[in-house]
A and B are shown apart, each in its own frame.
Chain A
Amino acid sequence: MDYNEKVIKRFSKPKNVGEIKNADGIGKVGNPRCGDVMELFIKVKNNKIVDAKFRTFGCVAAIATSDALCDMVKGKTIEEAKKITNQDIVNDLGTLPPIKVHCSVLGREALDAAIKDYENKKN
């Protein structure tokens, strides 16, 4: 697979692996049959995402995407995070092999799910 160095580096040494105890929002998406399951945990303070961690069963691209996404959302308000597109995630990694772009979509879906969970809990 034609991964760039940035993707390989993210995959080899992800910084945001783990779960957040008492997370304010948890999003779990994907299907083990398809080979990708992503779980995203976010901690929110004053409407701002202060921490993000992930657990992922998946390929190199899925793990790199999860890790990049965590870094991208940290420090953003919920509204700002909602605006992140899957292309933003791809751009952050430089490029992804075309058949791996769906991993970034999965990242976007995990973020949606985590934010929804946060909003449900809040209300």
Chain B
Amino acid sequence: MKVYLDNGATTRCDEKVIERMKKIYLKNYGNPSSLHSLGRDAKKEVDRARKEFANYLKISEEEIIFVASGSEADNLAIKGLSLAYPEKKHIITSKIEHPAILRTCEDLERNGYEITYLDVNKEGLIDIKKLKELLRTDTLVVSIMHANNEIGTINDIESISKICREKNVFFHTDAVQSLGKVKLNLGNIDLASFSAHKIHGPKGVGALYIKKGIRLKSIIKGGGQERGLRAGTENVPGIVGFAEALTSLSEKEIERITELRDYFIERVMKEIKEVHLNGPLKERLCNNASISFHYVEGEGLLYHLDAKGIAVSTGSACSSKSLQVSHVLRAIGLKHEIAHGTIRFTFSKYNTKKEIDYVIDSLKEIVTNLRKMSPLYPEEK
């Protein structure tokens, strides 16, 4: 049996998405900047997709910029603001942000910016009161992710953005994991990053929401596409596919995924000893279960699951290029030896209960075997 439980990494493309993209690739393949009819037709496709996007997010069309990835959207948000408002040299973010935010902030730090990295509690939530105290007149932007990619924590960004608005500080959120899954009211949010391939859309396309009135400077220069904010020929099939993907998850499907997740968590916690769930039980992404299996190491567990056709990811240092334990697991205070045994299971609408049962049976067998092999596992247990 093949079971894909790494939907936090990327998802299978929806067939409706592919159908719409195929039409662009084969028939509407013009460059939206071209003057001839093929070009004009391609531009209409981009305009239509932008309108669908705007309707979905209840924003206006000129508030959305298409880019090549969620990471690019994050980079453009932070760097674009820093270039447009150079007098403000302080940024607040959290310790569990995506590397696209953290590395961008570090880059600015090397250029004289002061960055405050907020701690999170053991569930991955920031302290909103503390944030309020840290806001300054020279604070450029606060960037807090909507839902965490590793442990699934959903931050209360409506409250956070309201505080920022009161203090006249821009608020950006990386909403890559939450788009299409968690209701998002952009009310006080100034900028938000999105990505298509996490919601059954194509890879290589992202979007940045920029509230009307906010100046931003581009980081990619060229032909003036996307209102001069992002040069480069528009990825027309990708943009169209992204718009189609926005509605790929119905309320009913989200409910079903949530049920699968809860069924999985409940059975794992009950049937495998000495495990724990990372992140909150309730305020978490509908498709995320981050579980630490004590006394075993995640990479080994991942490869054994892989041999059984099950795809997951791990926060173990041993699997990372830097040999560092995941910064998110460290920030929520997990001991290193426990962080090493952490596996992220992320579900999608394509998963079935039968698959989940198979994964649980496999997990029970593998964890037992690895623990037998582990010198850390107390013998009396």
Contact = CB atoms under 8 A, between A and B. Distances in A.
The winner among B300, B325, B340, B376 for most chain A CB atoms within 10 A is B300
Contacts of A43: none
Identify the interface centre among A34, A35, A60: most chain B CB within 10 Å of its CB.
A35
Size class of the B contact interface (CB-based, 8 Å): 20 to 34
Contacts, number: 69
Contacts of B296: 57
Interface in A25-77: 28, 32-39, 55-63
Contact of B318 (A8, A12, A59): A59
Interface string B348-378: 0000000000000000000000001111110
- Interface SS of A by simple majority: mixed
Nearest to A1: B319
A33 B297 contact: no
A118 interface: no
Contacts of B336: 32-35
A36 B319 CA distance: 12
A56 B337 contact: no
A28 B299 contact: no
A39 B376 CA distance: 10
A17 B303 contact: no
Among A34, A58, A61, the one with the most B-chain Cβ atoms within 10 Å of its Cβ is A58
A35 B303 contact: no
Contacts of B51: none
Contacts of B340: 32, 35
Given A11-B303, A57-B295, A63-B300, A35 B318 contact: yes
A114 to B, nearest CB: 13
Nearest to A11: B303
A59 B375 contact: no
A122 B377 CA distance: 29
Contacts of B323: 99
A57 B319 contact: no
Contacts of B337: 32-33, 35
B372 to A, nearest CB: 7
A28 B376 CA distance: 11
Contacts of A28: 375
B374 A60 contact: no
Given A12-B307, A55-B373, 13 more contacts: A12-B304, A32-B337, A33-B335, A35-B318, A35-B325, A36-B297, A36-B318, A38-B375, A56-B374, A57-B296, A57-B375, A62-B297, A62-B318
Interface of A: 1, 8, 11-12, 14, 17, 28, 32-39, 55-63, 99
